[in-house]
Amino acid sequence: MTHGMRKGLTSYGDPGFSLFLRKAFIKAMGLTDDALKRPIVGIANTGSDYNACHGNVPQLIDAIKRGVMLAGGLPMAFPTISIHESFAHPTSMFLRNLMAMDTEEMIRAQPMDAVVLIGGCDKTIPAQLMAAASADLPAIVVPVGPMLVGHYQGEQLGACTDCRRLWGEFRGGRLDEIEINAINERLAPTTGTCMVMGTASTMACMTEAMGLTLPLAASIPATHADRLRSAEASGRQAVAMASANSPRPSELITAASLRNALVVLQAIGGSTNGLIHLTAAAGRLGLKLDLDDFDRLGRAVPVLVDLKPSGAHYMEHFHWAGGVPRLLRELGELVDLDARTVLGGTLRECVDGAEFVRDQAVIRPRSAPVKPVGSMAVLGGNLAPRGALIKQSAASPALMTHRGRAVVFESVQDLTERIDDPALDVNADDVLVLRNAGPIGAPGMPEAGYLPIPRKLAEQGVKDMVRLSDARMSGTAFGTIVLHIAPEAAAGGPLALVRNGDLISLDVPARRIELLVEDAELDRRRAAAPSAATAPPDRGYAALFHRSVLQADEGCDFDFLVPGRALRGESPT
Ligand code: FES
């Protein structure tokens, strides 16, 4: 097997010439033959002026390079797509698979013996995990780290759980223009990822629990010196991995480590998006997450981490309480400590090294959990034949069993236009239904599942309602919200059959979401034309996405990227 600069030579029909030419060009950067003989560590640079969460990437690259060189390797940084939540149209999820393809192909195309993946903002680490699993080159993830908290009028603020809550207060007329503008300046006070247990923090914690980062890499604040020390150590470790050609992602992403990640997802009150992204990464290695198993874990694993949006604290508090190693220690036999890590040993060694912080209240023992059951429940029923998800830790207990009249919105656009219409026929007991907002329908399954409370109800003080959709929601959101209904309406799912005024029953203890309409009537509706999804795009990435994206229960990956998966619409042979 070839290594370093000799790896993956460009095809000119003469390998000697290919190497000669490659070295001629790289020597233009002043490199010596000694440098070119070293193991090469690629560093995926996701810095971008459009990605404020990744504002510390230049410093992280410097630290990683230092670590690589101290260990005798040659660091080579290269750019990839970078995605920020608020700067991606129509939605960041639409671009996740593109970033995964870009990252995978750049790892394959360029000579490197190991790769350091700098990720953070919501879709970036998922894309990198998918890419790393497919490329299967030794890889270590360096999260950019969470932001510090903001402050307003003596209150701690966190992006973006408090963004939604305070915007809701503004919509309800309880905050004025001056106050909301002041808050806007303080919600994201530093570089780094959202400091609540949103998707970015969730993915970082699950990635650490799978052994794909150094211990504590998920939680060290983005602005702290420890973050740079961790990056330097990751660079050093990448050289050891490059020399040993191990561990590769396929050695680390296993049934045991995936289960550990799911246990952590439940215990941290993590983002619902975590399940979709983990499903996609596992799928790249032919591994399947079982939704029923995940639901069973939810009944066995308590929520132990007291972070917003399910709890009270923020990522920096989680870090100072001991972070993921301390959490894994508290989870005890619920996690498999024999799972391997990038350090070459097992998770047990990381847990043994966990700092024991006395009298902290952020990471609870199992004897005094934040919530006695896990954060998420998987629902079935006639509205969700292939499953749906509810984040019960962020839902209203009074609405966990509820029956109400459907108020249907045909699309995100329809929702935007009508939700605040004073003439909208809606009461606090109704069930808000959004369809055609799934992977195909929207497209890209936007985070539209957090349907706003209609203004006229918000002004009356209504804070939560049952809401359901085939969309996703931000990991920072809260409410009694049923998401990821599969199949989606645009793929012929029963969500397309709901009509205004139909009764819908949500029963979280029984894990059911039901449309209370006779089967014969549903058959009649099915035979009539279903709600029209948007017209399929006819060119470019959008057309590829429309043709190939899988449903939420399969991680919304592209069919042709999942080994052994039949192309959508074709039966497996
Ligand atoms: Fe980047 Fe929240 S917007 S992590």
* Residue range 173-189, pLDDT digits in tens: 899 999 999 999 999 99
pLDDT tens string 515-555: 999 999 999 999 986 555 567 899 999 999 999 999 999 99
| Domain ranges (residues) in the chain | 38-148+190-352, 150-184, 376-528
Interstrand relation of 388-391 and 401-409 (parallel, antiparallel or unpaired): unpaired
pLDDT tens string 298-341: 999 999 999 988 889 999 999 999 999 999 999 999 999 999 99
- Pocket flag, ligand 1, residue 121 (CB < 6 Å): yes
pLDDT, residue 568, reads: 72
Protein residue with least CA distance to atom 1, ligand 1 = 121
Ligand 1 pocket mutation pick from 50, 82, 84 by most atoms within 8 angstroms of CB: 84
pLDDT, residue 572, reads: 42
For the CA of 201, the nearest atom of ligand 1: 4
CA–centroid distance, residue 200 to ligand 1 (Å): 6
pLDDT, residue 478, reads: 80
Protein residue with least CA distance to atom 3, ligand 1 = 85
The pLDDT-based confidence of 52 (bands split at 50, 70, 90) is very high
pLDDT, residue 569, reads: 65
State both tokens at 404: 């109400």
Per-residue 3-state assignment (H helix, E strand, C coil) for 496-543: HHCCCCCEEEEECCCCEEEECCCHHHHHHHHHCCCCCCCCCCCCHHHH
CA–centroid distance, residue 383 to ligand 1 (Å): 31
Per CATH, the number for 376-528 is 3.50.30.80
Indicate left, alpha or beta for 424 from its phi (over 0: left) and psi (-120 to 50: alpha): beta
Residue 476 has pLDDT above 80, yes or no: no
Query: Is the torsion defined by CA of 269, 278, 537, 482 positive or negative?
Result: negative
pLDDT, residue 172, reads: 81
pLDDT tens string 104-128: 999 999 999 999 999 999 999 999 9
Residue 506 has pLDDT above 70, yes or no: yes
- Is the preceding peptide bond at 487 cis, omega within 30 degrees of 0? yes
Task: From 307, 360, 351, 353, select the one nearest 333 (Cα to Cα).
Answer: 351
pLDDT, residue 311, reads: 86
Determine contact, residues 233/214, Cβ cutoff 8 Å.
yes
